[in-house]
Structure 1
Amino acid sequence: MEVVLANFEHLEEISKLFDHYRMFYNQSSDLESARAFLKDRLQKMDSTVFVAYDRDRMAGFTQLYPSFSSVSMKRIWILNDLFVEEAYRKQGVAKLLMSAAENFARETGAIRIILSTQVSNLAAQSLYESLGYIQSKDFYHYAYQLLRK
């Protein structure tokens, strides 16, 4: 298994995985929009995507978005997406992707990586906790929905 930084050469394969990721979260399949969304991220360089390959087959990806801590005046990376194809789950692919994200964050001088997951996603929670991520007890996280379905 190899983890690499994604670029335009990976767009078609990542788009398919991204579409599967969205369907995992109960969204309708929309490969064309997934491709357009990821193409826009790559063109604007406003996210960083790592992909895991098993020989010539893409097994999973993670996507990070940059942010900053005003208090510490340091970079933060938001690990917004992590997905592994079902056939590759429980084989260490997610850990490899998380390790790539951590190495990248360290290389870019970040103070931390933050992430969130659904309350019902116990597998993800178990993974994150096994890697040393701690559920925040100091802050409540709120969201204001601008677009309504």
Structure 2
Amino acid sequence: MNTKVIKATSKHIKDVGFLFDLYRQFYKYKPNLKASTNFIKQRILNNESTIFICYSKTLEGAGFVQLYETFDSLNINKKLILYDLYVYKKYRRLGIGRNLMLKAKDYAVKKRIKIVELSTAINNKKAQSLYEELDYKRDREYHNYYLEI
């Protein structure tokens, strides 16, 4: 399929916001297009994340990936957290997720970032398969924890 992956700017907030709302619904959150779009708007306008959006040949948003730059204290280096990856249902199995992941890797290389880290749902076998095909390694040393406040 003929697609184009570009870095999202303020011109793409509406399209990314729509996809982000679908992504949240995939993870069982209630639809809230206004909040989803506002969240994306703040990330883009405040340069708090880097988002790449994939457009179909008809210029419909087909998927996105959102990256957060942070630090790895032990490796004394920067790292990217690939926090969100989503492909619109009708565009799945066309290589869009792979293209977005490769774009994220290219971005990391250009920024001289040595690690891209991600996590996914335990039952998301399709995503896990893609990550492993792209040489991501499952962490077997650490468990992740969180504290809800």
* C-alpha distance in 2 between matches for 1:85 and 1:10: 16
* Contact 1:63–1:79 (CA under 8 A) maintained in structure 2: yes
Alignment of 1:15-94 (within 5 A): 15-55=17-57, 56-94=59-97
Shift of 1:69: 1.0
Task: Report SS of the residue matched to 1:110.
Answer: coil
Deviation, structure 1 residue 71 = 2.1
Q: Percent identity at matched positions?
A: 35
| DSSP 3-state at the match of 1:61 | strand
Partner of 1:124: 127
Question: Per-residue displacement from partner, 1:84-113 (whole Å, max 9, x unpaired)?
Answer: 011110100000000000000111111100
TM-score by length of 1: 0.96
Unaligned runs of 5+ in 2: none
Select which of 2, 5, 8 maps to 2:4. Answer: 2
Q: Which amino acid aligns with 1:66?
A: E
Listed as ranges, the gaps of 5+ residues in structure 1 are none
Task: Show the counterpart of 1:135.
Answer: 138
* TM, length-normalised to structure 2: 0.96
Is the Cα contact below 8 Å between 1:74 and 1:109 reproduced in 2?
Answer: no
- Match of residue 105 from structure 2: 102
AA paired with 1:75? K
Give the whole-Å Cα distance in 2 for the aligned partners of 1:51 and 1:43: 16
Q: What CA deviation, in whole Å up to 9, does each residue of 1:62-100 have, x standing for no partner?
A: 000111111222110000000001111010000000000
